[in-house]
Structure 1
Amino acid sequence: MDMDNGISLYPGLDNTPAENLALLEKAAHDGIRRIFISLHIPETDVSALKQEIGTLLQAARRHGMEVISDVSPATCQLLDLPDFNPTSFRMLGITTLRLDYGFSAEEIARLTHRFPEMRFQLNASTITRRILKELQDAGTDFSRIDALHNFYPRRGTGLSEQSLVHANILLHRYGIRVGAFVASQGRRRSPLKDGLPTLEEHRDEAAELSARHLVALGCDSVFLADSLPTAEEIQGIGHLQGDQVTLHARYMTKDPVQRELLAHTFTARLDEARDAIRAQESRRLLREMHAKVLPDNATTHPIGAITIDNEGYGRYMGELQIIRMPQPADPRTNVAAMVDESECNLLQYITPGRKFSFRFAPETDII
């Protein structure tokens, strides 16, 4: 499933207007449909922002991109709006308003009914059961709402995995989709330049791996948070798949039958094995291929080994597993591929009923 992922723009801060425009164009080209624009960073050059914002919003509109902006009294002043009026933001090209501080449940509920052309966004990082209950009691139209976690510029202040998951579960209970940020390893945003992740553990991690971790934790969208991400990072976020755990792996076999089998998306069986993640569909898929798996590469099975049972296992031929507990070699089972060591942490999120797939880089296309 494709996701509605995003980039972040900070007019008047680190990038030149040309760099920001090029970033927007590149993101649109790579299938990114959302932009988070922050308009209340103290270090921003306000006159530069005012000169640039119109061009960026115009380009976003041309590409049909959703523009999310945090709003506060200072934002209205910055954009020369006399008062807080969602229609004025819409006319500028801002389509979603992030309602962080200073809005009561009644005010938010009223906004969702009075301005059907706008979307509104909650701060996922500060959400509580009580806030959601108040919004529900006030009659909020939750179909007009989504949520986005904060990012954390100062090292050591990012969220824990546990708190992010807790917030995501709460929001999903009300049918609210949730996004979060990953840091870029490209140009990092001023003034601290220490990355802008939602989760502290992602601060120095590759953006694409962090993004796949967020998907595994139940996030519905991922935003690149820093000023000027690399072309590879934009492409990775643009092509990110939702609702499944994607693992980078390397082939251990040249057999075309096993490689074709590995190209599918699988579902983890509901009757969870102690030692391995078992694919629900692999044996059926092999039968549909009218193919056989011959003995090949029957080495030991370390954690992260992707195994396929060969014809020696009789009716289990085609059984695909990802090993979670090391096992000895078995001539009836081939080690067809290996999950990259840095990705084995993601195995814990392939829970019963969860979909998973493998991605093989062209240069790893060798034994």
Structure 2
Amino acid sequence: MALGLSIYPNKSSFEANATYLKKAADLGYQRIFTSMLDVTADNKTEILATFKKIITYGNSLGLKTTIDVNPRLFKVLGMDYHHLDLLADLGASAIRLDANFDGLTESLISFEEPQLDLELNISADTGNIANILSYRPNLRRISGCHNFYPQRYTGLGLDFFTKCSTMYKHMGLKTAAFVTSQAATFGPHVFADGLPTLEMHRDLDIAIQAKHLFATGLIDDVLIANAFASDDELKALAAVNEDQLTLKVDTIPTLSTNEYDILFKYQHFNRGDINDYAIRSTFVKLAYIHHAIPVNHAVPQLKPGDITIGNDNFGQYKGELNIVKQAMPNEHQLKNVVGHVTAAETFLIDYIRPWSKFRFTKN
């Protein structure tokens, strides 16, 4: 898995882009996405020089660049799909085909010199990937990347996103999708009301967007689509645990030391024999057989997002941690409500599957 960010060298100064890339590289980002779709015959010489300068600088930081291309751009640049030296000379590592071709063309590109990787547009339910694979491409150089959507209410719905992404994952291909910065002011186009892949992400915190994409199990790389993300956003995204879901928690004021430790100092995982009412992390209780967990905020009714720990009255279930999935009574007040998954992240609970690992951080 890798994190990336987008730059648009013809829309901001080299110095601004270079500063942005250096901050990202220092935080562990590995990828650059950029677009040359607005290149024209009149400005191509100047823009190519601008792109080469910043991509070369990105390469010096260890950042690999993907350039978004389409058939019109190839005509403007006087290229064909079997002669990609111009893009390689810019320092690019990959091209993303914004539009698909006949399958054979993509297959041939994956073997051509120079060895540019080929990213295909996932955001289309055409079955084109199966066609491309039927032409036996070089799979080591093929991956998929979703679109981003500047216009509000045009981003992908979750069901469609899942369907398209699943096709690629089932074929063993790497995938990428975009998140949007709430601080950035521009993208590749004149109008940009945020630039997410998923419409439901448009107004969410950038880290929550990434947590969701990783939690689906369908996305390998997450890219910031617009520029420039704030320093806080870059750090927050870099801190996202790509390997397991980490939920932010609002804790109760009277949280005990043992409850705090159970919440934040243990690796949790959901039982395999799941139920409809709660995520159950049961192994942690074994460490608290001989520790006191007095009754503390054992409210009579539990609601979705509540995090509970079995108290001293709960027999063999003392110390068991639950995340409540649907409302239910707290029978005999045997469970202490120690906190609540933050409202913005409650929807992520649905992605904790049988045997899923998860952790918590304090909000």
- Name the TM tier (shorter chain): 0.7 to 0.9
SS at match of 2:302: coil
Which range moves more in the overlay, 175-184 or 107-116? 107-116
Displacement, 1:83? Answer: 4.7
Structure 1 counterpart of 2:345, one-letter code: E
State the partner residue of 1:165. Answer: 162
CA contact 2:244–2:358 (8 Å) conserved in 1: yes
Structure 2, gaps ≥5 residues long:
none
Structure 2 counterpart of 1:216, one-letter code: A
State the partner residue of 1:230. Answer: 230
State the partner residue of 2:151. Answer: 154
Structure 2 counterpart of 1:94, one-letter code: A
Displacement, 1:260? Answer: 2.1
Taking the TM superposition and a 5 Å limit, the aligned residue runs for 1:139-150 are 139-150=136-147
State the partner residue of 1:219. Answer: 219
- Partner Cα separation in structure 1 for residue 221 and residue 288 of structure 2: 33
Which range moves more in the overlay, 26-35 or 205-214? 205-214
Taking the TM superposition and a 5 Å limit, the aligned residue runs for 1:323-334 are 323-329=324-330, 330-334=332-336
CA contact 1:222–1:237 (8 Å) conserved in 2: no
Q: Deviations over 1:108-167 (max 9, x none)?
A: 2223234484321111102533x2222222112323222110011122211111110101
State the partner residue of 2:21. Answer: 24
State the partner residue of 1:310. Answer: 311
State the partner residue of 1:63. Answer: 61
- Partner Cα separation in structure 2 for residue 322 and residue 62 of structure 1: 45
SS at match of 2:144: strand
State the partner residue of 2:90. Answer: 92
CA contact 2:48–2:90 (8 Å) conserved in 1: no
* TM-score (norm. length: structure 2): 0.88
State the partner residue of 1:33. Answer: 30
State the partner residue of 1:298. Answer: 298
The change in CA–CA distance for 1:333 and 1:76 in structure 2 (over 3 A counts) is same
Displacement, 1:172? Answer: 0.6
Among candidates 170, 179, 183, match of residue 182 of structure 1: 179
Displacement, 1:294? Answer: 3.5
Structure 1 counterpart of 2:307, one-letter code: I
Structure 2 counterpart of 1:59, one-letter code: Y
CA contact 1:12–1:47 (8 Å) conserved in 2: no
Structure 1 counterpart of 2:237, one-letter code: I
State the partner residue of 1:365. Answer: none
State the partner residue of 2:196. Answer: 197
CA contact 1:275–1:325 (8 Å) conserved in 2: yes
Length, aligned pairs only: 354
- Partner Cα separation in structure 2 for residue 26 and residue 285 of structure 1: 42
CA contact 2:39–2:47 (8 Å) conserved in 1: no
Displacement, 1:282? Answer: 2.6
State the partner residue of 2:249. Answer: 249
- Partner Cα separation in structure 1 for residue 115 and residue 239 of structure 2: 28
The change in CA–CA distance for 1:77 and 1:135 in structure 2 (over 3 A counts) is closer
Among candidates 119, 122, 137, match of residue 124 of structure 1: 122
Displacement, 1:77? Answer: 6.7
SS at match of 1:113: coil
CA contact 1:81–1:88 (8 Å) conserved in 2: no
SS at match of 1:121: strand
Q: Deviations over 1:40-98 (max 9, x none)?
A: 137997566334322311221112112111123554577x6755434443342100111
* TM-score (norm. length: structure 1): 0.87
State the partner residue of 2:356. Answer: 354
CA contact 1:182–1:198 (8 Å) conserved in 2: yes
Structure 1, gaps ≥5 residues long:
362-367
SS at match of 2:227: coil
CA contact 2:51–2:90 (8 Å) conserved in 1: no
Structure 2 counterpart of 1:199, one-letter code: L
CA contact 1:250–1:337 (8 Å) conserved in 2: yes
The percent of aligned pairs where both chains have the same amino acid is: 29
Displacement, 1:356? Answer: 2.2
State the partner residue of 2:130. Answer: 133
The change in CA–CA distance for 1:58 and 1:316 in structure 2 (over 3 A counts) is same
The change in CA–CA distance for 1:139 and 1:83 in structure 2 (over 3 A counts) is closer
SS at match of 2:111: helix
Matched, 1:277 2:279: yes
The change in CA–CA distance for 1:46 and 1:293 in structure 2 (over 3 A counts) is farther
Displacement, 1:195? Answer: 0.9
Q: Deviations over 1:154-196 (max 9, x none)?
A: 2221111111010111111001122111221113325113111
Name the Cα RMSD after superposition: 2.6
Displacement, 1:99? Answer: 2.3
State the partner residue of 1:268. Answer: 270
SS at match of 1:23: helix
State the partner residue of 2:101. Answer: 103
The change in CA–CA distance for 1:195 and 1:42 in structure 2 (over 3 A counts) is farther
Structure 1 counterpart of 2:318, one-letter code: M
CA contact 2:100–2:120 (8 Å) conserved in 1: no
